[in-house]
A and B are shown apart, each in its own frame.
Chain A
Amino acid sequence: MLSHLFKLIWNKKRHHTLLMVEIWVSFLVLFGVMSLISYNFKNYVEPIGFEYENVWALDLNKNQDTTAIADKLHIILQKIRSYPEVEAASRMSSNSPFSFNTSNGSINYKKTSVHGDYYDADDAFIHTLGIKPILGTWFSQSDVVAKFKPVVINQQAKEGLFGEINPIGKIIGDNQKVVGVIGNFKAKGEFSDNRPCIFNLIDDKYIFNKVLIKVKPGTDANFEAKLTKEIASVAKEWTTEVSYLTDQRQNQHNLALVPVIVFLIITVFLLVNVAMGLFGILNLNIAKRREEIGVRRAMGATAGNIKIQFVGEMWVIATFGVLIGILFAVQFPLLNVFNIEASIYWMAIGLSIVVLYGIVTLCAYHPSRQAANIQPAMALHEQ
Chain B
Amino acid sequence: MIKLSNIEKVYQTSNIETLALNNINIDIKKGEFVSIMGPSGCGKSTLLNIMGLLDEPSNGTIAIDNKPVEKFTDKDLAYLRNQKIGFIFQSFHLINDLSILDNVEIPLLYRTSTNKSRREAAKEALEKVGLSNRMKHFPNQLSGGQKQRVAIARAIVGNPEIILADEPTGNLDSAMGNEILNILLQLNAAGSTIVMVTHDENMAKKTHRLIRLFDGTQVS
Which chain A residues have a beta carbon within 8 Å of chain B's beta carbons?
Answer: 1, 3-4, 7-8, 11-12, 291-292, 294-305, 375-377, 380-381, 383
Task: Decide: A298 and B83 in contact? CB cutoff 8 A.
Answer: no
Q: Which residue of B lies closest to A4 (CB)?
A: B109
Contact status B97-A377, CB under 8 Å? no
Contact assessment for B110 and A377 in the assembled complex, using a CB-CB cutoff below 8 Å = no
- Which interface residue of A1, A292, A383 has the most chain B CB atoms within 10 A? A292
B115-159 CB contacts (< 8 Å) to partner A: 115, 154, 158
Known: A8-B98, A301-B110, A302-B75. 6 other contacts (CB 8 A): A7-B102, A292-B95, A298-B81, A299-B110, A300-B79, A376-B55
Contact flag A377-B78 (CB < 8 Å), given A4-B109, A296-B106: no
A100 to chain B, nearest CB (A): 60
Number of A-B contacts (CB under 8 A): 73
Prevailing SS type, chain A contact patch = helix
Contact between B91 and A300, CB atoms less than 8 A apart? no
List residues of chain A with CB within 8 A of the CB of B93.
291-292, 294-295, 380, 383
A7 adjacent to B98 (CB under 8 Å): yes
The answer on a CB contact under 8 Å between B54 and A300 is no
The reply to whether the CB of B168 lies closer than 8 angstroms to some CB of chain A is no
* Known contacts A305-B78, A380-B89; A298 and B97 CB within 8 A of each other: no
Q: How far is the CA of A297 from the CA of B91 in the complex (A)?
A: 16
Residues in B with CB closer than 8 Å to A292 are 93, 95
Question: Which residues of chain A have C-beta atoms less than 8 A from B171's C-beta?
Answer: none
Q: Which residue of A lies closest to B83 (CB)?
A: A300
* Complex-state Cα separation, A303 to B79, whole angstroms: 12
* B97 A1 Cβ-Cβ under 8 A: no
Q: What residues of B have a CB within 8 angstroms of the CB of A299 in the complex?
A: 81-82, 87, 106-107, 110, 154
Contacts of B54 in A (CB 8 A): 294, 297-298, 376-377, 380
A377 B55 Cβ-Cβ under 8 A: yes
| Among B87, B115, B158, residue most surrounded by chain A Cβ atoms (within 10 Å) | B87
**Interchain Cβ contacts under 8 Å between A and B, 18 examples:** A8-B98, A12-B97, A294-B54, A295-B89, A295-B106, A297-B78, A298-B52, A299-B107, A300-B78, A300-B82, A300-B83, A300-B110, A300-B158, A302-B74, A304-B75, A305-B78, A376-B55, A380-B93
**B188 at the binding interface (Cβ < 8 Å):** no
Closest A-B pairs by Cβ, 3 of them:
A300-B82, A377-B55, A300-B110
> B111 at the A/B interface (Cβ < 8 Å)?
yes
